A and B are shown apart, each in its own frame.
Chain A
Amino acid sequence: MRAAVECSGLTKAFGSTVAIDNLSFKLPANKITGLIGRNGAGKTTLLKLIAGYLAPTGGSVKVFSENPFNNVRVSANLIFVDDKMTMPQSLNLGEILEAVGGFYENWDHRLARGLLEYFNLNPRQHHHNLSKGMKSTFNMIVGIAARCPLTIFDEPTVGMDAAVRKDFYRALLKDFLQHPRTVFFSSHLLNEISEILDDILLLDQGRCRLYMTKDAVKEFAVGLQGKEEAVAAIAGGSEIFYRKKLGPENLYLVVPNRFSEEELLAARRKGVEVSAVPAEDLCVYLTAKHKGGIDDVFDRN
Protein backbone atom coordinates (compact mmCIF):
# COMPACT_ATOMS: atom_id res chain seq x y z
CA MET A 1 0.00 0.00 0.00
CA ARG A 2 1.17 3.49 -0.83
CA ALA A 3 2.41 5.51 2.12
CA ALA A 4 0.45 8.59 3.11
CA VAL A 5 3.54 10.28 4.48
CA GLU A 6 7.11 9.50 3.66
CA CYS A 7 10.08 11.15 5.30
CA SER A 8 13.63 10.47 4.34
CA GLY A 9 16.57 12.06 6.06
CA LEU A 10 14.20 14.81 7.17
CA THR A 11 16.00 17.50 9.14
CA LYS A 12 14.76 20.77 10.54
CA ALA A 13 16.96 23.17 12.45
CA PHE A 14 16.03 26.47 14.04
CA GLY A 15 19.31 28.30 14.18
CA SER A 16 21.66 25.93 16.00
CA THR A 17 18.88 23.87 17.55
CA VAL A 18 18.13 20.73 15.62
CA ALA A 19 14.47 19.88 16.14
CA ILE A 20 14.18 17.05 13.63
CA ASP A 21 17.34 15.09 13.02
CA ASN A 22 17.71 12.95 9.92
CA LEU A 23 14.33 11.29 10.34
CA SER A 24 13.13 8.61 7.95
CA PHE A 25 9.87 6.72 8.12
CA LYS A 26 6.78 5.84 6.10
CA LEU A 27 3.32 6.37 7.46
CA PRO A 28 0.93 3.83 5.96
CA ALA A 29 -2.42 5.06 4.75
CA ASN A 30 -5.65 4.50 6.66
CA LYS A 31 -4.18 3.84 10.05
CA ILE A 32 -4.25 5.78 13.25
CA THR A 33 -0.68 6.38 14.30
CA GLY A 34 0.26 7.88 17.62
CA LEU A 35 3.18 10.26 17.71
CA ILE A 36 4.63 9.95 21.18
CA GLY A 37 7.49 11.83 22.73
CA ARG A 38 8.46 14.09 25.54
CA ASN A 39 8.08 17.84 25.43
CA GLY A 40 10.62 19.21 23.00
CA ALA A 41 11.10 15.90 21.23
CA GLY A 42 10.11 17.60 17.95
CA LYS A 43 6.54 16.32 17.64
CA THR A 44 4.98 19.64 16.66
CA THR A 45 7.84 20.48 14.32
CA LEU A 46 7.46 17.13 12.55
CA LEU A 47 3.70 17.63 12.18
CA LYS A 48 4.18 21.15 10.83
CA LEU A 49 6.72 19.87 8.33
CA ILE A 50 4.18 17.31 7.17
CA ALA A 51 1.46 19.96 6.99
CA GLY A 52 3.73 22.14 4.86
CA TYR A 53 3.81 24.98 7.36
CA LEU A 54 7.55 24.65 7.71
CA ALA A 55 10.17 24.00 5.06
CA PRO A 56 12.74 21.30 5.81
CA THR A 57 16.38 22.24 6.35
CA GLY A 58 17.47 18.93 4.90
CA GLY A 59 16.07 15.69 3.57
CA SER A 60 12.56 15.46 2.26
CA VAL A 61 9.01 14.92 3.34
CA LYS A 62 6.37 13.66 0.96
CA VAL A 63 2.64 13.67 1.58
CA PHE A 64 0.65 11.62 -0.92
CA SER A 65 3.90 11.53 -2.91
CA GLU A 66 4.16 15.32 -3.08
CA ASN A 67 6.15 17.97 -1.28
CA PRO A 68 3.64 19.53 1.11
CA PHE A 69 5.31 22.94 1.33
CA ASN A 70 3.27 25.48 -0.62
CA ASN A 71 1.20 22.72 -2.15
CA VAL A 72 -2.51 23.32 -2.52
CA ARG A 73 -3.24 19.71 -3.46
CA VAL A 74 -1.74 18.44 -0.23
CA SER A 75 -3.41 21.24 1.71
CA ALA A 76 -6.81 20.30 0.33
CA ASN A 77 -6.37 16.74 1.60
CA LEU A 78 -4.99 17.53 5.01
CA ILE A 79 -6.18 19.21 8.16
CA PHE A 80 -4.00 20.18 11.08
CA VAL A 81 -5.83 20.39 14.37
CA ASP A 82 -4.31 21.86 17.49
CA ASP A 83 -5.39 24.20 20.25
CA LYS A 84 -3.97 27.23 18.46
CA MET A 85 -6.07 26.98 15.31
CA THR A 86 -6.88 30.52 14.25
CA MET A 87 -10.63 30.78 13.87
CA PRO A 88 -12.30 33.88 12.45
CA GLN A 89 -13.36 36.13 15.31
CA SER A 90 -16.18 37.70 13.39
CA LEU A 91 -18.16 34.52 12.86
CA ASN A 92 -20.00 32.48 15.43
CA LEU A 93 -19.43 28.75 15.73
CA GLY A 94 -22.31 27.81 13.44
CA GLU A 95 -21.13 30.23 10.78
CA ILE A 96 -17.57 28.98 11.08
CA LEU A 97 -18.68 25.40 10.46
CA GLU A 98 -20.62 26.57 7.41
CA ALA A 99 -17.73 28.65 6.06
CA VAL A 100 -15.05 26.05 6.76
CA GLY A 101 -17.15 23.30 5.24
CA GLY A 102 -16.78 25.03 1.89
CA PHE A 103 -13.10 24.18 1.87
CA TYR A 104 -13.38 20.42 2.20
CA GLU A 105 -14.91 18.11 -0.32
CA ASN A 106 -15.79 15.40 2.20
CA TRP A 107 -17.09 17.78 4.86
CA ASP A 108 -19.99 16.27 6.80
CA HIS A 109 -22.08 19.15 8.02
CA ARG A 110 -24.65 17.02 9.80
CA LEU A 111 -21.93 15.31 11.76
CA ALA A 112 -20.38 18.65 12.66
CA ARG A 113 -23.69 20.10 13.87
CA GLY A 114 -24.45 16.88 15.73
CA LEU A 115 -21.12 16.91 17.54
CA LEU A 116 -21.55 20.61 18.31
CA GLU A 117 -24.83 19.85 19.96
CA TYR A 118 -23.54 16.76 21.75
CA PHE A 119 -20.65 18.69 23.29
CA ASN A 120 -22.99 21.47 24.40
CA LEU A 121 -21.45 24.15 22.23
CA ASN A 122 -23.88 26.93 21.37
CA PRO A 123 -23.63 27.69 17.62
CA ARG A 124 -24.22 31.37 18.35
CA GLN A 125 -21.15 31.60 20.55
CA HIS A 126 -17.89 33.09 19.34
CA HIS A 127 -14.70 31.07 19.28
CA HIS A 128 -12.59 33.55 21.24
CA ASN A 129 -15.11 33.49 24.09
CA LEU A 130 -14.73 29.76 24.60
CA SER A 131 -12.69 28.22 27.38
CA LYS A 132 -9.50 26.42 26.45
CA GLY A 133 -11.14 23.02 26.63
CA MET A 134 -14.15 24.13 24.61
CA LYS A 135 -11.87 25.60 21.96
CA SER A 136 -10.06 22.27 21.72
CA THR A 137 -13.40 20.49 21.49
CA PHE A 138 -14.58 22.74 18.69
CA ASN A 139 -11.31 22.37 16.77
CA MET A 140 -11.57 18.60 17.15
CA ILE A 141 -15.10 18.70 15.71
CA VAL A 142 -13.76 20.61 12.69
CA GLY A 143 -10.95 18.07 12.38
CA ILE A 144 -13.27 15.06 12.40
CA ALA A 145 -16.00 16.54 10.19
CA ALA A 146 -13.50 17.65 7.54
CA ARG A 147 -12.84 13.97 6.79
CA CYS A 148 -9.47 14.74 5.28
CA PRO A 149 -7.46 11.81 3.90
CA LEU A 150 -4.69 12.96 6.24
CA THR A 151 -5.88 14.24 9.58
CA ILE A 152 -3.27 15.56 11.97
CA PHE A 153 -4.02 16.14 15.63
CA ASP A 154 -1.32 17.90 17.61
CA GLU A 155 -2.10 17.52 21.31
CA PRO A 156 -5.78 18.03 20.51
CA THR A 157 -7.07 17.40 24.01
CA VAL A 158 -5.46 20.38 25.75
CA GLY A 159 -7.86 21.65 28.40
CA MET A 160 -10.53 19.01 27.80
CA ASP A 161 -11.80 17.20 30.86
CA ALA A 162 -11.56 13.42 31.07
CA ALA A 163 -15.15 12.75 30.02
CA VAL A 164 -14.88 14.92 26.93
CA ARG A 165 -11.57 13.31 26.01
CA LYS A 166 -13.16 9.88 26.22
CA ASP A 167 -16.06 10.97 24.01
CA PHE A 168 -13.64 12.50 21.58
CA TYR A 169 -11.58 9.33 21.20
CA ARG A 170 -14.78 7.40 20.67
CA ALA A 171 -16.12 9.84 18.11
CA LEU A 172 -12.83 9.78 16.23
CA LEU A 173 -12.71 6.01 16.20
CA LYS A 174 -16.32 5.61 15.10
CA ASP A 175 -15.96 8.05 12.25
CA PHE A 176 -12.63 6.50 11.32
CA LEU A 177 -14.19 3.06 11.06
CA GLN A 178 -16.90 4.35 8.72
CA HIS A 179 -14.57 6.59 6.74
CA PRO A 180 -11.05 5.25 7.07
CA ARG A 181 -8.33 7.84 6.68
CA THR A 182 -4.79 8.42 7.81
CA VAL A 183 -4.70 9.91 11.27
CA PHE A 184 -1.48 11.13 12.84
CA PHE A 185 -2.08 11.90 16.45
CA SER A 186 0.41 13.41 18.85
CA SER A 187 -0.19 13.16 22.54
CA HIS A 188 1.61 12.67 25.76
CA LEU A 189 -1.33 10.72 27.17
CA LEU A 190 -0.41 7.39 25.57
CA ASN A 191 -2.39 5.30 28.03
CA GLU A 192 -5.55 7.16 27.05
CA ILE A 193 -5.13 7.01 23.33
CA SER A 194 -3.44 3.64 22.98
CA GLU A 195 -6.88 2.07 22.64
CA ILE A 196 -7.53 3.78 19.33
CA LEU A 197 -4.02 3.56 17.94
CA ASP A 198 -2.81 1.07 15.36
CA ASP A 199 0.82 2.11 15.38
CA ILE A 200 3.11 4.04 17.63
CA LEU A 201 5.95 6.30 16.54
CA LEU A 202 8.17 7.28 19.43
CA LEU A 203 10.16 10.42 18.83
CA ASP A 204 13.17 11.31 20.94
CA GLN A 205 15.28 14.41 20.34
CA GLY A 206 14.16 14.64 16.76
CA ARG A 207 14.92 11.00 16.03
CA CYS A 208 12.73 7.96 15.65
CA ARG A 209 13.27 5.81 18.70
CA LEU A 210 10.62 3.23 17.96
CA TYR A 211 8.07 2.70 15.23
CA MET A 212 5.88 -0.37 15.28
CA THR A 213 2.36 -1.59 15.83
CA LYS A 214 0.82 -1.06 19.21
CA ASP A 215 0.78 -4.81 19.86
CA ALA A 216 4.44 -5.15 18.99
CA VAL A 217 5.22 -2.39 21.46
CA LYS A 218 3.51 -4.39 24.20
CA GLU A 219 5.77 -7.37 23.41
CA PHE A 220 8.85 -5.25 22.84
CA ALA A 221 10.23 -5.38 26.37
CA VAL A 222 9.89 -7.31 29.59
CA GLY A 223 10.32 -6.34 33.18
CA LEU A 224 12.47 -8.56 35.36
CA GLN A 225 12.24 -8.26 39.10
CA GLY A 226 14.04 -10.23 41.78
CA LYS A 227 17.33 -10.69 43.56
CA GLU A 228 19.98 -8.52 42.03
CA GLU A 229 22.34 -11.30 40.93
CA ALA A 230 19.59 -13.45 39.50
CA VAL A 231 18.11 -10.61 37.50
CA ALA A 232 21.49 -9.52 36.22
CA ALA A 233 22.33 -13.05 35.19
CA ILE A 234 19.23 -13.43 33.10
CA ALA A 235 19.56 -10.01 31.49
CA GLY A 236 23.12 -10.86 30.61
CA GLY A 237 24.71 -8.35 28.28
CA SER A 238 21.49 -7.12 26.74
CA GLU A 239 20.56 -3.49 26.51
CA ILE A 240 18.91 -2.10 29.64
CA PHE A 241 16.02 0.32 29.12
CA TYR A 242 15.37 0.94 32.78
CA ARG A 243 16.83 -0.09 36.07
CA LYS A 244 15.51 0.47 39.51
CA LYS A 245 16.77 -0.74 42.87
CA LEU A 246 14.02 -2.06 45.06
CA GLY A 247 15.31 -2.15 48.58
CA PRO A 248 18.86 -3.31 49.36
CA GLU A 249 18.83 -6.57 47.38
CA ASN A 250 16.09 -6.42 44.81
CA LEU A 251 16.35 -5.03 41.35
CA TYR A 252 13.84 -4.19 38.59
CA LEU A 253 15.14 -4.18 35.05
CA VAL A 254 13.43 -3.48 31.74
CA VAL A 255 15.18 -5.19 28.86
CA PRO A 256 14.36 -6.10 25.25
CA ASN A 257 12.12 -9.12 25.00
CA ARG A 258 14.42 -11.53 23.26
CA PHE A 259 13.82 -14.43 25.56
CA SER A 260 12.38 -17.75 24.55
CA GLU A 261 9.59 -19.37 26.52
CA GLU A 262 12.09 -21.74 28.14
CA GLU A 263 14.39 -18.94 29.23
CA LEU A 264 11.49 -17.11 30.83
CA LEU A 265 10.36 -20.29 32.59
CA ALA A 266 13.87 -20.80 33.88
CA ALA A 267 13.96 -17.26 35.12
CA ARG A 268 10.72 -17.69 37.01
CA ARG A 269 12.14 -20.79 38.67
CA LYS A 270 15.04 -18.70 39.93
CA GLY A 271 12.59 -16.41 41.66
CA VAL A 272 12.69 -13.69 39.03
CA GLU A 273 9.31 -12.17 38.31
CA VAL A 274 8.70 -11.63 34.61
CA SER A 275 6.12 -8.97 33.72
CA ALA A 276 4.88 -7.14 30.69
CA VAL A 277 5.82 -3.48 30.39
CA PRO A 278 2.91 -1.13 29.63
CA ALA A 279 3.50 0.79 26.43
CA GLU A 280 3.37 4.19 28.10
CA ASP A 281 5.95 3.15 30.67
CA LEU A 282 8.19 1.77 27.98
CA CYS A 283 7.98 5.01 26.06
CA VAL A 284 9.01 6.94 29.14
CA TYR A 285 11.93 4.58 29.74
CA LEU A 286 13.09 4.70 26.15
CA THR A 287 13.23 8.44 26.03
CA ALA A 288 14.74 8.98 29.48
CA LYS A 289 18.24 10.42 29.68
CA HIS A 290 19.04 8.41 32.79
CA LYS A 291 18.40 4.70 32.91
CA GLY A 292 17.14 4.96 36.45
CA GLY A 293 14.70 7.77 35.73
CA ILE A 294 14.30 10.66 38.11
CA ASP A 295 15.52 8.43 40.98
CA ASP A 296 19.01 8.57 39.48
CA VAL A 297 19.29 12.23 40.26
CA PHE A 298 18.54 11.59 43.91
CA ASP A 299 20.54 8.35 44.24
CA ARG A 300 23.74 10.03 43.10
CA ASN A 301 23.74 12.27 46.14
Chain B
Amino acid sequence: MGLYLPVGLFILLLIALLMAAGFKTWTGRVRLSFRRVWQVTGVYLALLLASLAVFYALAASGKAETLPVPEKGPGEGGENEYDRILSAYYDALFKGRLEEYQGAELQGKWDFNYPERRLLVRTAEKRPYYGIIAVEEKAADDGRVEARYYNVSLGGGDLFPVNPPEVKLAGEVLEIALPRRKEFMTFFFCQDFTSAQFTGKGVADISSGLYIYHGDHQVLYLKVPRGLEIDTDASIEHSVTFIER
Protein backbone atom coordinates (compact mmCIF):
# COMPACT_ATOMS: atom_id res chain seq x y z
CA MET B 1 0.00 0.00 0.00
CA GLY B 2 2.87 2.32 0.86
CA LEU B 3 4.12 2.53 -2.72
CA TYR B 4 0.81 2.02 -4.44
CA LEU B 5 -0.18 5.67 -4.49
CA PRO B 6 3.09 7.24 -5.66
CA VAL B 7 3.50 4.65 -8.39
CA GLY B 8 -0.08 5.21 -9.46
CA LEU B 9 0.41 8.96 -9.51
CA PHE B 10 3.61 8.60 -11.48
CA ILE B 11 1.83 6.49 -14.07
CA LEU B 12 -0.92 9.10 -14.26
CA LEU B 13 1.70 11.81 -14.78
CA LEU B 14 3.27 9.80 -17.59
CA ILE B 15 -0.10 9.31 -19.24
CA ALA B 16 -0.71 13.03 -18.90
CA LEU B 17 2.58 13.96 -20.53
CA LEU B 18 1.97 11.55 -23.36
CA MET B 19 -1.49 13.00 -23.79
CA ALA B 20 -0.05 16.50 -23.76
CA ALA B 21 2.19 15.60 -26.66
CA GLY B 22 -0.55 13.81 -28.55
CA PHE B 23 -3.27 16.32 -27.75
CA LYS B 24 -1.67 19.27 -29.46
CA THR B 25 -1.33 17.58 -32.78
CA TRP B 26 -4.72 16.02 -32.37
CA THR B 27 -6.59 19.19 -31.48
CA GLY B 28 -4.75 20.87 -34.31
CA ARG B 29 -6.26 18.33 -36.62
CA VAL B 30 -9.80 18.69 -35.39
CA ARG B 31 -11.32 20.81 -38.08
CA LEU B 32 -14.46 21.69 -36.19
CA SER B 33 -15.13 25.36 -35.94
CA PHE B 34 -15.43 26.62 -32.41
CA ARG B 35 -19.13 27.28 -32.89
CA ARG B 36 -19.67 23.66 -33.87
CA VAL B 37 -17.61 22.56 -30.85
CA TRP B 38 -19.79 24.64 -28.57
CA GLN B 39 -22.87 23.09 -30.13
CA VAL B 40 -21.53 19.57 -29.61
CA THR B 41 -20.69 20.40 -26.02
CA GLY B 42 -24.17 21.82 -25.54
CA VAL B 43 -25.70 18.59 -26.82
CA TYR B 44 -23.48 16.60 -24.47
CA LEU B 45 -24.53 18.76 -21.53
CA ALA B 46 -28.17 18.33 -22.50
CA LEU B 47 -27.68 14.56 -22.59
CA LEU B 48 -26.12 14.63 -19.13
CA LEU B 49 -28.92 16.78 -17.74
CA ALA B 50 -31.48 14.45 -19.29
CA SER B 51 -29.79 11.51 -17.60
CA LEU B 52 -29.97 13.44 -14.34
CA ALA B 53 -33.71 13.80 -14.79
CA VAL B 54 -34.08 10.11 -15.63
CA PHE B 55 -31.96 9.25 -12.63
CA TYR B 56 -34.13 11.08 -10.14
CA ALA B 57 -37.23 9.79 -11.88
CA LEU B 58 -35.94 6.26 -11.28
CA ALA B 59 -35.28 7.14 -7.68
CA ALA B 60 -38.79 8.51 -7.27
CA SER B 61 -40.36 5.43 -8.86
CA GLY B 62 -38.92 3.32 -6.08
CA LYS B 63 -36.40 1.54 -8.24
CA ALA B 64 -33.58 3.14 -6.37
CA GLU B 65 -33.15 0.57 -3.66
CA THR B 66 -33.87 -3.01 -4.44
CA LEU B 67 -31.56 -4.37 -1.86
CA PRO B 68 -31.66 -3.26 1.75
CA VAL B 69 -28.13 -4.28 2.44
CA PRO B 70 -27.36 -3.61 6.05
CA GLU B 71 -24.72 -1.13 6.80
CA LYS B 72 -22.01 -2.16 9.12
CA GLY B 73 -23.16 -1.38 12.58
CA PRO B 74 -21.19 0.27 15.30
CA GLY B 75 -18.58 -1.71 17.17
CA GLU B 76 -15.81 -4.02 16.11
CA GLY B 77 -17.93 -7.03 15.43
CA GLY B 78 -20.29 -5.30 13.10
CA GLU B 79 -23.19 -6.49 15.14
CA ASN B 80 -26.39 -5.38 13.49
CA GLU B 81 -29.96 -6.21 12.79
CA TYR B 82 -29.15 -9.08 10.46
CA ASP B 83 -26.76 -10.71 12.84
CA ARG B 84 -29.51 -10.59 15.43
CA ILE B 85 -32.05 -12.16 13.03
CA LEU B 86 -29.65 -14.93 12.13
CA SER B 87 -28.69 -15.82 15.66
CA ALA B 88 -32.35 -15.95 16.68
CA TYR B 89 -33.02 -18.22 13.74
CA TYR B 90 -30.28 -20.66 14.64
CA ASP B 91 -31.24 -20.47 18.25
CA ALA B 92 -34.75 -21.60 17.35
CA LEU B 93 -33.32 -24.34 15.17
CA PHE B 94 -31.18 -25.89 17.85
CA LYS B 95 -33.95 -25.71 20.38
CA GLY B 96 -36.20 -27.53 17.94
CA ARG B 97 -38.61 -24.64 17.72
CA LEU B 98 -38.20 -23.81 14.08
CA GLU B 99 -41.74 -24.96 13.27
CA GLU B 100 -43.32 -22.25 15.33
CA TYR B 101 -40.60 -19.63 14.88
CA GLN B 102 -41.81 -16.62 12.89
CA GLY B 103 -38.48 -15.84 11.35
CA ALA B 104 -38.28 -19.14 9.53
CA GLU B 105 -39.96 -19.60 6.23
CA LEU B 106 -41.22 -22.98 5.16
CA GLN B 107 -40.16 -23.61 1.62
CA GLY B 108 -40.71 -27.34 1.14
CA LYS B 109 -42.74 -30.04 2.78
CA TRP B 110 -42.64 -33.80 2.25
CA ASP B 111 -44.36 -36.49 4.30
CA PHE B 112 -43.70 -40.21 4.00
CA ASN B 113 -45.12 -43.26 5.67
CA TYR B 114 -42.19 -45.28 6.83
CA PRO B 115 -42.75 -48.18 9.16
CA GLU B 116 -39.22 -49.63 8.87
CA ARG B 117 -36.58 -49.50 11.59
CA ARG B 118 -33.63 -48.18 9.60
CA LEU B 119 -33.36 -45.33 7.11
CA LEU B 120 -30.43 -44.35 4.96
CA VAL B 121 -30.28 -40.65 4.21
CA ARG B 122 -28.08 -39.49 1.33
CA THR B 123 -28.01 -37.18 -1.62
CA ALA B 124 -29.31 -38.34 -4.94
CA GLU B 125 -26.11 -37.86 -6.90
CA LYS B 126 -23.88 -38.70 -3.94
CA ARG B 127 -22.51 -35.18 -4.18
CA PRO B 128 -21.95 -33.63 -0.79
CA TYR B 129 -24.72 -31.56 0.72
CA TYR B 130 -23.58 -28.52 2.63
CA GLY B 131 -26.77 -27.31 4.19
CA ILE B 132 -27.86 -28.33 7.63
CA ILE B 133 -29.87 -31.52 8.01
CA ALA B 134 -31.49 -31.51 11.39
CA VAL B 135 -32.95 -34.73 12.71
CA GLU B 136 -35.42 -34.77 15.53
CA GLU B 137 -36.78 -37.91 17.07
CA LYS B 138 -40.47 -37.62 17.67
CA ALA B 139 -41.99 -38.47 21.01
CA ALA B 140 -43.93 -41.36 19.55
CA ASP B 141 -43.41 -43.92 16.82
CA ASP B 142 -46.11 -42.85 14.40
CA GLY B 143 -44.48 -44.41 11.36
CA ARG B 144 -44.15 -41.12 9.52
CA VAL B 145 -41.11 -39.24 8.34
CA GLU B 146 -41.80 -35.54 7.98
CA ALA B 147 -39.30 -33.50 6.00
CA ARG B 148 -39.48 -29.73 6.14
CA TYR B 149 -37.34 -27.25 4.36
CA TYR B 150 -36.85 -23.91 6.09
CA ASN B 151 -34.95 -20.78 5.28
CA VAL B 152 -34.35 -17.69 7.29
CA SER B 153 -36.65 -14.80 6.58
CA LEU B 154 -34.74 -11.55 6.38
CA GLY B 155 -37.77 -9.37 6.73
CA GLY B 156 -37.64 -7.71 3.35
CA GLY B 157 -39.05 -10.71 1.55
CA ASP B 158 -36.86 -13.20 -0.19
CA LEU B 159 -33.93 -11.23 -1.48
CA PHE B 160 -31.96 -14.08 -2.85
CA PRO B 161 -34.26 -17.07 -2.69
CA VAL B 162 -32.36 -20.28 -3.15
CA ASN B 163 -33.97 -23.29 -4.78
CA PRO B 164 -35.22 -25.92 -2.37
CA PRO B 165 -33.99 -29.49 -2.73
CA GLU B 166 -36.25 -32.38 -3.67
CA VAL B 167 -36.73 -35.07 -1.10
CA LYS B 168 -38.05 -38.51 -1.96
CA LEU B 169 -38.27 -41.91 -0.46
CA ALA B 170 -37.01 -44.85 -2.48
CA GLY B 171 -37.17 -48.11 -0.66
CA GLU B 172 -35.11 -47.70 2.49
CA VAL B 173 -33.33 -44.61 1.25
CA LEU B 174 -34.32 -41.02 1.75
CA GLU B 175 -32.81 -39.25 -1.23
CA ILE B 176 -32.12 -35.56 -1.30
CA ALA B 177 -31.90 -34.20 -4.81
CA LEU B 178 -29.61 -31.18 -4.60
CA PRO B 179 -31.21 -27.89 -5.53
CA ARG B 180 -30.31 -26.23 -8.76
CA ARG B 181 -27.76 -23.56 -8.10
CA LYS B 182 -29.07 -20.01 -8.33
CA GLU B 183 -27.04 -17.23 -9.84
CA PHE B 184 -27.25 -13.65 -8.72
CA MET B 185 -25.63 -10.44 -9.76
CA THR B 186 -25.71 -7.37 -7.62
CA PHE B 187 -24.55 -3.90 -8.43
CA PHE B 188 -23.10 -1.82 -5.69
CA PHE B 189 -23.16 1.79 -6.68
CA CYS B 190 -20.46 3.73 -4.92
CA GLN B 191 -20.18 7.48 -4.92
CA ASP B 192 -17.32 9.13 -6.79
CA PHE B 193 -14.37 9.82 -4.56
CA THR B 194 -15.16 13.50 -4.96
CA SER B 195 -18.31 13.14 -2.91
CA ALA B 196 -17.23 10.06 -0.96
CA GLN B 197 -14.58 12.02 0.88
CA PHE B 198 -17.39 13.97 2.50
CA THR B 199 -20.05 11.27 2.71
CA GLY B 200 -18.00 8.09 3.19
CA LYS B 201 -19.85 6.17 0.50
CA GLY B 202 -17.04 5.48 -1.95
CA VAL B 203 -15.70 2.23 -3.33
CA ALA B 204 -13.22 1.75 -0.54
CA ASP B 205 -15.80 2.39 2.17
CA ILE B 206 -18.46 0.15 0.67
CA SER B 207 -16.33 -2.81 -0.29
CA SER B 208 -14.52 -3.06 3.04
CA GLY B 209 -17.65 -2.72 5.13
CA LEU B 210 -19.70 -5.03 3.02
CA TYR B 211 -21.30 -8.23 4.09
CA ILE B 212 -24.00 -9.71 1.98
CA TYR B 213 -26.62 -11.67 3.79
CA HIS B 214 -27.95 -14.43 1.77
CA GLY B 215 -30.78 -16.79 1.86
CA ASP B 216 -28.10 -19.41 2.17
CA HIS B 217 -29.24 -20.49 5.63
CA GLN B 218 -31.53 -23.28 4.65
CA VAL B 219 -32.28 -26.18 6.90
CA LEU B 220 -33.72 -29.56 5.99
CA TYR B 221 -35.57 -30.55 9.11
CA LEU B 222 -36.46 -34.21 9.47
CA LYS B 223 -38.86 -35.40 12.10
CA VAL B 224 -38.56 -39.15 12.38
CA PRO B 225 -40.53 -41.76 14.39
CA ARG B 226 -39.19 -42.72 17.76
CA GLY B 227 -36.64 -45.47 17.52
CA LEU B 228 -35.86 -45.05 13.82
CA GLU B 229 -32.20 -45.56 13.19
CA ILE B 230 -30.68 -43.05 10.78
CA ASP B 231 -27.79 -44.07 8.60
CA THR B 232 -25.79 -41.61 6.59
CA ASP B 233 -23.09 -41.84 4.00
CA ALA B 234 -20.20 -39.59 3.09
CA SER B 235 -22.40 -37.18 1.16
CA ILE B 236 -24.17 -35.84 4.21
CA GLU B 237 -22.44 -37.11 7.29
CA HIS B 238 -21.04 -33.69 8.09
CA SER B 239 -24.39 -32.03 7.67
CA VAL B 240 -26.46 -33.99 10.07
CA THR B 241 -27.27 -32.51 13.43
CA PHE B 242 -29.45 -34.26 15.97
CA ILE B 243 -31.80 -32.03 17.81
CA GLU B 244 -32.61 -32.82 21.42
CA ARG B 245 -35.73 -31.21 22.68
Contact = CB atoms under 8 A, between A and B. Distances in A.
Interface of A: 89-92, 95, 126, 128
Given A90-B34, A95-B34, A128-B28, 10 more contacts: A89-B27, A89-B28, A90-B27, A90-B28, A90-B30, A91-B33, A91-B34, A92-B33, A95-B33, A126-B31
A126 B34 CA distance: 13
Contacts of A95: 33-34
A128 B31 CA distance: 12
Nearest to B29: A89
Nearest to B31: A126
13 contacts: A89-B27, A89-B28, A90-B27, A90-B28, A90-B30, A90-B34, A91-B33, A91-B34, A92-B33, A95-B33, A95-B34, A126-B31, A128-B28
A90 B30 CA distance: 7
Contacts of B28: 89-90, 128
Contacts of A89: 27-28
Main secondary structure of the interface of A (DSSP, over half): mixed
Contacts, number: 13
Contacts of A92: 33
Interface residues of B, number: 6
A122 to B, nearest CB: 14
A236 B27 CA distance: 69
Interface in B16-33: 27-28, 30-31, 33
Contacts of A91: 33-34
A227 B30 CA distance: 71
A275 B44 CA distance: 76
Contacts of B31: 126
Nearest to A128: B28
B26 to A, nearest CB: 11
Contacts of A126: 31
Contacts of B33: 91-92, 95
A275 B134 CA distance: 131
Interface in B23-51: 27-28, 30-31, 33-34
A89 B29 CA distance: 9
A246 B131 CA distance: 121
A95 B34 CA distance: 9
A128 to B, nearest CB: 7
A91 B27 CA distance: 11
A91 to B, nearest CB: 7
Q: Which residue of A90, A92, A128 has the most chain B CB atoms within 10 A of its CB atom?
A: A90
Contacts of A90: 27-28, 30, 34
A91 B31 CA distance: 8
A95 B31 CA distance: 13
A15 B239 CA distance: 90
Nearest to A92: B33
A260 to B, nearest CB: 66
Nearest to A94: B33
Nearest to B25: A89
A125 to B, nearest CB: 11
